[in-house]
Chain A
Amino acid sequence: DGGITQSPKYLFRKEGQNVTLSCEQNLNHDAMYWYRQDPGQGLRLIYYSQIVNDFQKGDIAEGYSVSREKKESFPLTVTSAQKNPTAFYLCASSPSGPHLNEQYFGPGTRLTVT
């Protein structure tokens, strides 16, 4: 079955440590996205990538970094510079062309930093 996988489902880190969240898709989608979700805030876009080796900042990119070395993979690193990293992180992908913004989501990773 085609889909998006995110691992791990739960992640715990100490303050000051960088942490990388995994996102893999086998839908052959060109575009991939990272969102952050906080209660009552909806979804906020962190980074997105339309093509391998290229990505753009979203609305809340500070304290985060990404890479896109393979079409299937779009890992997100939460750095120690992110002031409030505890949140639910969602990865999504979408096909290219006119349906570029028809996004499909992974199951999410809940990150807790203490």
Chain B
Amino acid sequence: AQSVTQPDIHITVSEGASLELRCNYSYGATPYLFWYVQSPGQGLQLLLKYFSGDTLVQGIKGFEAEFKRSQSSFNLRKPSVHWSDAAEYFCAVGPQGGSEKLVFGKGTKLTVNP
């Protein structure tokens, strides 16, 4: 069965510092991978996605993520965090080939200190 683990429930960084949010997945083949962001009381917004090809993918708001097959990881990074990046971040995995079900991690809450 597919599963997604986000090991960090809560991360605090200072504004301007770099950020890395971890995501590990369990799946038998190469999956589709996603990162979503959720501001308090809002829906989820798609940050970026990996389907195939280049393992370093760029997303919106200056975020990027790297797919590492050998480590079953898809970590999210940003070189310099802004106060507006404070939110909850969800990693999700879905099987290639168009299956409808995504499996979500439990999320990592990001706090940004001024």
Residues of A near any B CB (own CB < 8 A): 4, 6, 31, 33, 40-43, 45, 48, 50, 58, 90, 92, 94, 96-108, 110
Given A101-B94, A101-B100, A102-B34, A42-B107 contact (CB < 8 Å) = yes
Min CB distance B17 to A, Å, is: 25
Which of A31, A105, A107 lies in contact with B100, CB distance below 8 A? A31
Contact residues on B (Cβ < 8 Å of other chain), bracket: 20 to 34
Query: Could you tell me if A107 and B106 are in contact, using CB atoms closer than 8 angstroms?
Result: no
Contact A90-B43, Cβ < 8 Å, known A40-B106, A42-B90, A101-B94: yes
Query: Chain B: interface secondary structure?
Result: loop
Taking a contact as CB atoms under 8 Å apart, the answer to whether B100 and A48 are in contact is: yes
Q: Which residues of A contact B42 (CB under 8 A)?
A: 107-108
A99 to B46, CA, bound (A): 13
Point out the residue from A42, A50, A108 that lies within 8 Å of B105, measured CB to CB: A42
